[in-house]
A and B are shown apart, each in its own frame.
Chain A
């Protein structure tokens, strides 16, 4: 069972990095529909998201549904941290407080999952 939790947290970590790649790709031009071109970091981000989704599906095929309730908020902690660390984004007091409140909201939203098998 432990390996499936590790798989789920790996998926969450990959999701965080995928968002990072998408942000870099978006900042450096994004999609150009006229020239039918996309920045390589966008493709890397979308590919990483796809891998994360596959790992998620695999881990959730074994893990109980209540695992989602405490695994999914981790992405909301990790992604802003990665943005602060690698992109130099300022994590102001309001951003940190707002993110914490959002995470609490998501846990409350999924509270019933804690009681399901």
Chain B
């Protein structure tokens, strides 16, 4: 339960940071460093990345790295959803198929974790 909670916070923080970064980069701050540092959204973006680092360290406290790192690839799927919802970006067939395969891989990984807990 703790693992699922920490992972959820990690995915939310990453998605938040990525969306904020895209908004900042698409604006005048993306062209000029002076404008970047005067954009309040840049600091919101920094908070997002700090939250991402903090939640990732919380995940590493409760999960082995060899399992946590592949599971973190789910960020790719969440970023795709955010890109489509917030920025109307195109979702290609290979994005969808790739996302399904990534989720399948994570399910296989998670089954392994459940088997280890039951046998120990």
Interface residues of A (CB under 8 A from B): 19-20, 22-23, 25-27, 30-31, 42, 46, 75-76, 79-80, 83-84, 87, 89-95, 97-112
Most central of A26, A100, A103, A104 by chain B CB within 10 Å: A26
Which residues of B are at the interface with A, using a C-beta cutoff of 8 A?
A: 53-54, 56-58, 60-61, 64-67, 69-70, 73, 76, 92, 94-95, 97-113, 115-116
Known: A80-B65, A95-B109, A98-B106. A22 touches B56 (CB 8 A): yes
Cα distance A105–B109 in the bound complex, in angstroms: 14
Given contacts A95-B112, A109-B95, contact A31 B57 (CB under 8 A): yes
Interface residues of chain A: helix, strand, loop or mixed (majority): helix
* Contact (Cβ within 8 A) A19 B69: yes
Closest to B64 in A: A89
